[in-house]
Homo-oligomer: A and B are copies of this chain.
Amino acid sequence: MKAKLERKDCLYPMLTTLVGANINGKPNYAPIAFVGIMDFTNISAAINHKHYTNTGIKESKTFSVNIPSLEMVKIVDYCGLVSGRDVDKSKLFKTFYGILETAPMIEECPINMECRLVQVLNFPRHDVFIGEVVEAYGDDQYLTEGTVDLSKVQPILFSFHNKDYWKLDTSFAKAWDIGKQL
């Protein structure tokens, strides 16, 4: 029997990322799970207006989306407990830059995407930053035959239902394939 849910946002679990931006000349990182895929080269990250990160993205017109591994969960969560206004988060990670030169990325994260800002959608409480991924980076240890291996990445999945982090289990079927059995 279907019942109406109190929480209307049910698109969980969602991938937990660390969104990076330079603000006042320093890298800053915010844990963001309000992310999305627009197409093969554009992604979105929705960040509450009150966050420190937003100014930096708007100024530099660039940002990064970094995918942390579950062993990084404490520091990822910590980044959400403190604001870049009060704590210098540039000291928490090793930062590297790519071709955009102004999108700080986190060396310790298995996967990094550097994005050129293409559009900002203004929602009542959130800026939705849409970015073109101009380059993506991965560490050898998280790849299998040159392709990202999620069983090695061990991403952190987030749910707002109970405000918790979830692990990814195994791959169990091939897409555009298992349906052929019907």
Q: Give the interface of A toward B (CB within 8 A).
A: 1-15, 17, 33-44, 46, 65, 67, 70, 73-81, 96, 107, 111-113, 119, 121, 123-126, 128, 130, 133-140, 143, 146-150, 155, 157-159, 161-182
A39 touches B175 (CB 8 A): no
A7 touches B38 (CB 8 A): no
Chain B nearest CB, measured from A12 CB (Å): 7
Q: Once the chains are docked, how many angstroms separate the CA of A174 from the CA of B175?
A: 31
Contacts of A70 in B (CB 8 A): 172
Contacts of A164 in B (CB 8 A): 171-175
Q: Once the chains are docked, how many angstroms separate the CA of A178 from the CA of B166?
A: 13
Contacts of A175 in B (CB 8 A): 77, 80, 158, 163-165
Q: Once the chains are docked, how many angstroms separate the CA of A81 from the CA of B177?
A: 8
B34 touches A139 (CB 8 A): no
A80 touches B168 (CB 8 A): no
Residue of B nearest to A17 (CB): B11
20 pairs of residues in contact across A and B, judged by CB atoms under 8 Å: A1-B140, A3-B139, A4-B136, A9-B40, A11-B17, A11-B65, A11-B67, A12-B15, A13-B15, A13-B168, A14-B15, A34-B37, A44-B44, A74-B181, A74-B182, A164-B175, A166-B168, A166-B169, A167-B168, A167-B172
Q: Which of B38, B40, B167 contacts A44 (CB 8 A)?
A: B38
Contacts of A73 in B (CB 8 A): 172-173, 178
Q: Once the chains are docked, how many angstroms separate the CA of A77 from the CA of B179?
A: 5
Residue of B nearest to A123 (CB): B39
A37 touches B46 (CB 8 A): yes
Q: Which of B12, B124, B130, B165 contacts A39 (CB 8 A)?
A: B124
